[in-house]
Amino acid sequence: MPYVDWSDEFSVGLEEIDAQHHILVDCLNRLHDAVHERKSESEIVSVLGTLGDYTRIHFAVEEALMRVFEYKDYVPHKAEHEKLLAQFAEKAEKCHSGKVSANLELLQFLRSWLTDHIIHGDKKYAPMFLSRGMKAAATGERQRKGWFSRLWH
């Protein structure tokens, strides 16, 4: 059973962004599985690294689109991204100690942050991006097929 189940509640309605959010959820689920299956520290660190790398890439894509579309809340949204990355780095460092509680703390933090940020942050820019011609998301499996997301897999 996945740690985070994708639902329509997470869809911002933009093909590429929804596809990238799917990948973030998949990475978080892989991290959860690695922690709960008591994988080696090197495996957990590898999954954690992938999640961190993809998060930075995703944020860069979002921020670039916000600049291109002149999104009015770009500065506070970018500040949220920077805050998450700092918190992620701090909590990931704790995970390197090999303590399961640090891993669980990070998982809980990431699940809460990701779902809250998508629902209360990312959904705010979606209508403006759509009005500027960004491609709307399809439903079902095609949702996972954004242009950049295909490159990542």
What is the CATH number for 135?
Answer: 1.20.120.50
Q: Which domain holds residue 78?
A: 12-152
In a domain, 109, yes or no: yes
Do the beta carbons of residue 52 and residue 88 sit within 8 Å?
yes
Q: For the chain, what is the domain count? A: 1
Is 143 within the bounds of a domain?
Answer: yes
Residue 59 lies in a domain: yes
Quick check: is 32 in a domain? yes
Q: What is the phi-psi region of residue 62: left when phi exceeds 0, alpha when psi lies from -120 to 50, beta otherwise? A: alpha
3 lies in a domain? Answer: no
Give the pLDDT confidence score for residue 100 in this predicted structure.
63
> Quick one: pLDDT at residue 98?
63
Cα 22 versus chain centre, distance: 8
For the segment 51-109, what is each residue's pLDDT rounded down to a tens digit? 999 999 999 999 999 999 999 999 999 999 999 999 998 888 877 776 667 788 889 99
Q: Per-residue pLDDT tens for 117-129?
A: 999 999 999 999 9
Is 6 contained in some domain?
Answer: no
Predicted structure pTM score:
0.84
Residue owning tokens 């992620």:
88
Q: For 27-56, what is the mean pLDDT?
A: 91
The verdict on residue 2 lying in a domain is: no
Q: What phi and psi values does residue 77 have, to the nearest 5 degrees?
A: -65, -45
In a domain, 33, yes or no: yes
